[in-house]
Amino acid sequence: MRRFETFIIIDPDLSEEQRVLILERVKEILGQMNGFLIRVDPWGLRKLAYPIRKKERGFYVRFDFCGTGQLLNEMERFFRIDERVLKHMSVLLDSQPSLERIQEEMAKAEEAAKTPAEPEAPAAIAPAVAAEAQPSQPEPTPQEA
């Protein structure tokens, strides 16, 4: 089993429901071929570097998963056949991934998403701290000296 990263660019004119159908089909392929989906990372609408099928924008999605070469071939076959997918690209991240380490990373990422960020200092304290940091008298400029 290897770890792959696949990027796809979906037609920007599709509705959210149609995009979800594509993502569900990818998850279905992963399940059928004994793959392990680590993360689906939708990047959203972005401007393309060059027009693809007369489209100036595309909806980017990144898949991070573990599987075999047969799984990757099946996914790429689906992307080539489906006209809603404008482009796709797959990259081998790790030829011998450790599933335990990947599951630890997933747990840490999930935990970080659940815990709220630390609150910032109250606004009343910030100006006082900034005033103390400034020197009491400005330094003379070369013209004044």
Count, residues in the chain: 145
Q: Over the stretch 55-112, which tens digit does the pLDDT of each residue have?
A: 999 999 999 999 999 999 999 999 999 999 999 999 999 888 787 788 888 888 778 8
Superfamily of domain 2-114 in the CATH hierarchy:
Ribosomal protein S6/Translation elongation factor EF1B (3.30.70.60)
- Token pair 């696949």 is found at 6
pLDDT tens digits, one per residue of 10-33: 999 999 999 999 999 999 999 999
> Is the distance from CB of 86 to CB of 22 less than 8 angstroms?
no
C-alpha distances in Å from residue 111, one per residue of 37, 41, 62, 107, 108: 18, 17, 21, 6, 5
Question: pTM for this one?
Answer: 0.72
| Domain spans, the chain | 2-114
Cα–Cα distance for residue pair 48/113, rounded to 1 Å? 30
